[in-house]
Chains A and B, each alone.
Chain A
């Protein structure tokens, strides 16, 4: 069974631009979560989607948004990029009723 996939793997943007990251969960997983990883703040939860509905949301500004499609694929969008948004963005999926979360390889976003 294929793992969690994320595209693109690397991205370079400039301040003020917007970006969309994509995540395909493991087949059958309906829960998709996003995390931001930076050297200073560590791993921080962004949001979680389950069956196309946002179920949990972390403490991030409204510039960060996401959505989930009927096939469980998820996208996250960051508008008006700031230098501090440079990070590794990790997507994770899990099967309902389990405590096993599987992570994708991440998207490395660099904001110049």
Chain B
């Protein structure tokens, strides 16, 4: 079974600084997707960024970028120029394709990010 591990329960960052959240995963599949979701206090889960395993290039979305190390099964999220609105729980998640469609998302336990003004 696939597993996702986030080893940092809490992180903090100064406003305008850069922070990196860590995630490792375990799978025997070769073709899969990795995601970072943000859950602010409002509880609405929002997709931040997505990475296809077959792509070597790291995904970027504005201030958010990932460092995808397939051999090491590592998938970290870098937030640049941190803003107060970035404060939230961040979840790393995994899915892969199967004959019955996309497999359900497997989530890590989350990292609570605080942004200090």
Binding site for B on A (CB under 8 A): 31, 33, 35, 42-43, 45, 48, 50, 55-56, 58, 88, 90, 92, 94, 96, 99-106, 108
Minimum distance in angstroms from B111 CB to a CB of chain A = 12
If A42-B110, A43-B91, A105-B42 touch, whether A100 touches B104 (CB-CB below 8 Å) is no
Instruction: State which residues 21-40 of B face A: CB under 8 Å.
Output: 33, 35, 37
- Size of the B side of the interface (Cβ < 8 Å), in residues, is 24
Further 5 A-B residue pairs, CB within 8 A, beyond A56-B104, A99-B52: A42-B110, A90-B45, A92-B45, A96-B101, A103-B45
Minimum distance in angstroms from B51 CB to a CB of chain A = 10
Binding site for A on B (CB under 8 A): 33, 35, 37, 42-47, 50, 52, 91, 95, 100-110
Chain A interface, DSSP helix/strand/loop, else mixed? strand
Q: Are B50 and A106 in contact (CB under 8 A)?
A: no
A105 to B110, CA, bound (A): 18
Which residues of the other chain, A, contact B35 by a CB distance below 8 angstroms? 99, 101
Q: Are B101 and A99 in contact (CB under 8 A)?
A: no
If A43-B91, A50-B101, A96-B101 touch, whether A101 touches B47 (CB-CB below 8 Å) is yes
Q: Are B104 and A33 in contact (CB under 8 A)?
A: yes
Q: Are A105 and B43 in contact (CB under 8 A)?
A: yes
Q: Are A99 and B109 in contact (CB under 8 A)?
A: no
Which residues of the other chain, B, contact A96 by a CB distance below 8 angstroms? 101
Q: Are A100 and B43 in contact (CB under 8 A)?
A: no
A50 to B103, CA, bound (A): 12
Q: Are A102 and B47 in contact (CB under 8 A)?
A: yes
Q: List 10 A-B contacts (CB under 8 A).
A: A42-B107, A45-B106, A56-B103, A90-B45, A92-B45, A99-B50, A99-B52, A101-B35, A105-B42, A106-B44
